[in-house]
A and B are shown apart, each in its own frame.
Chain A
């Protein structure tokens, strides 16, 4: 079970795995996530679903190596089995045919989870305008799939190596200045700072916006409350009430502080794992 069917390296730190998980693939809807565990002593890693295929029984995930657990995941090969893979978790995106245009914004590896939402919105008959962005050209992922899932695709890079130079928010602002009325809803997924800035732009234009919060989680089914976030002054659990919330109501400052909760421990674990990998390499 949970075999890695295919694995691709998209940049120095970005990888994508296709995992055999027929029950998850069958039930998955846009906006939902999975939790996986690499090995018996691993932690539960939440990752939003990038794509899934109920007929073929696989789920695609995209991840960036940021710590010990993602490093471990990236070191596993095609044909190996993950220890656990559970889902789909969380509430699906509230997609429908809005009878107009929708704006989709994906930043960095946030492009991966925004993909199924764009795809579904287009299928439902919306006119999908997508903006994807990253620091530099090499970090723009899933461009072809996003092109397929959108009616219009716009690209921004911070350094101008691809598409428009600047941030996704610049393009977002331009579009809203031009046709705010026509845009029926907005989704933005990416680093917290990007989602916060997108929310600011949306607020300036009096628009509602959905963001997807990747809070720290343990069980991912509403049992522990590790992922609590303040939304409209109320405490919500990202795992069962979300992961998508109206960005206009999210307390991003608190969310960012909570995400840094285990920085010291994460560093310690990464140093240990890197040493183990080095030792293995020099022995083998």
Chain B
């Protein structure tokens, strides 16, 4: 067992950094960028934790992870114990440890954040989850008694998986319906291998299946079967189908060849493994110069993917300044290290093509920041006469998603708002007594961890409702 430090000693220490692949090397491959902690590094970082009571970090975690408890176990060198603490509430620790915006969640709430050096909770969670996976240690087992009640979940992304896991542990018969040919939703089609290896998603999904959850792949709810039919067949239905419809800029030239939505570009690369073309049959075009429009995590994923697919020049075009970029700080830093160019305060007005319908350029204008808008961010204004053209072979539009209507139009009595998202309360309850909804299809495009949180809340509410009915 490692030494417990005195508070004064803890305050003196700095965050233990995580080793990464060197930028010049990693832009040649799709392997994961951060390499993870060693046991010694994990303990050294864990020792800094002040073990606050009440724990601010937990209040910042939508999955209610027992953070001080699992960190304590790391100091005790009881990694299995740490894993069991985490798994009590979070079914996807290796995923969350990698892709959560911790700076806005647990680490943002950490008391040590006041000094600018919060405990690296995400890295520790990742260490513990990786330990279990590498040793093939599993705590997953089918519950000893079943409740004899059936729940259908639409979508196998983070919200659906979290809900399925909690309900299965309580003894429900859970069936997930997934439209694609692999489970995981955005974790498999959206987030690139270099940020979240697909073998990790497969492993954590496998653990959820071990609980007895059934996953029906290649099953499009809304088309293969309607939500109305699911309502007839199941005691409760949880709609977690994600936002899932790409937004475009609605500027001239958007249908030229070489213009992609980020969803298409990333789906080709991640889900269909186009980066291994022709060994994998799905093609992708990048060329020498790629521009990605947008400033969120998806934009960073797309631009870093374009670089790895061979673009000599990969550029982010974003209409506000760096401060307003919604991407995680770490993603922006990694992109900068990899030589991604940033054209900030820049907005596209037109995409230019040649006679064969291929994109050749993107015409942009410079922007300046005016008064704050509803989101509190300063509203960008066009600088008149500042038009200029960037030569490109590929343009990727990463400005967000909207609601895909397929599921909603087969769900009678489940109210949607004017943007097509399901109307649901804090617990995920919709306007139909047997239907819950959560994740991006309620909130609009957000984060993995918020979807996990929504899935957990819905599971709790479904359990409460179905228990009363007994």
Contact = CB atoms under 8 A, between A and B. Distances in A.
Contacts of B280: 41, 43
Interface stretch (A82-90, A94-102, A146-154): A82-90
A47 interface: no
B255 interface: yes
A7 interface: no
A235 B248 contact: yes
B179 interface: yes
Interface in B243-279: 244-246, 248, 254-255, 257-258, 260-261, 263-264, 267-268, 272-273, 276-279
A202 B219 CA distance: 38
Interface stretch (B43-51, B281-289, B363-371): B281-289
Contacts of B322: none
B264 A222 contact: no
A83 B248 CA distance: 32
Contact of A87 (B189, B223, B357, B404): B223
A43 B281 contact: yes
A134 B245 CA distance: 38
A218 B260 CA distance: 12
Nearest to A29: B223
A254 B277 CA distance: 26
B225 interface: yes
Contact of A262 (B261, B273, B285, B406): B285
Interface string A251-281: 0001001101110011011001000000000
B113 interface: no
Nearest to A45: B281
Contact of B246 (A44, A224, A257, A272): A224
Given A222-B404, A257-B357, A266-B283, A87 B255 contact: no
Nearest to B353: A257
If over half of B's interface residues share one DSSP class (helix, strand or loop), that class is named, otherwise mixed; here it is loop
A232 interface: no
Which interface residue of B181, B189, B272, B356 has the most chain A CB atoms within 10 A?
A: B181
A240 B405 contact: yes
Please tell me the size bucket of the interface on B.
35 or more
B134 interface: no
B283 A262 contact: yes
Nearest to B263: A224
A258 B225 contact: no
B263 A223 contact: yes
A152 B138 CA distance: 66
B357 A258 contact: yes
A86 B257 contact: no
B217 A269 contact: no
A43 B223 contact: no
Interface string A32-52: 000001000111100000000
Nearest to B216: A23
B257 A258 contact: yes
Nearest to A261: B257
A224 B278 contact: no
Contacts of A84: 181, 217-218
B281 A226 contact: no
Given A89-B223, A230-B255, A221 B406 contact: yes
A219 interface: yes
B255 A228 contact: yes
B137 to A, nearest CB: 28
Given A41-B273, A230-B255, A258-B257, A87 B224 contact: yes
Contacts of B267: 218-219, 223-224
A41 B225 contact: no
B100 interface: no
B353 to A, nearest CB: 9
Which interface residue of B220, B225, B267, B357 has the most chain A CB atoms within 10 A?
A: B220
Given A41-B279, A218-B272, A225 B264 contact: yes
Nearest to B265: A224
A261 B285 contact: yes
A266 B277 CA distance: 10
A23 B219 contact: yes
A89 B220 contact: yes
B297 to A, nearest CB: 17
B16 interface: no
A218 B264 contact: yes
Nearest to B282: A43
Contacts of A41: 273, 276, 279-281
A234 B313 CA distance: 32
Contacts of A218: 264, 267-268, 272, 282
User: Lowest 4 A-B CB distances belong to which pairs?
Assistant: A257-B357, A265-B283, A224-B264, A86-B218
Given A23-B219, A221-B404, 8 more contacts: A222-B244, A222-B404, A223-B189, A223-B404, A254-B357, A257-B257, A257-B356, A265-B283
Interface of A: 23-24, 27, 37, 41-44, 68-69, 72, 83-89, 218-219, 221-226, 228-230, 235, 240, 254, 257-258, 260-262, 265-266, 268-269, 272
6 contacts: A84-B217, A223-B244, A225-B263, A228-B255, A261-B285, A265-B285
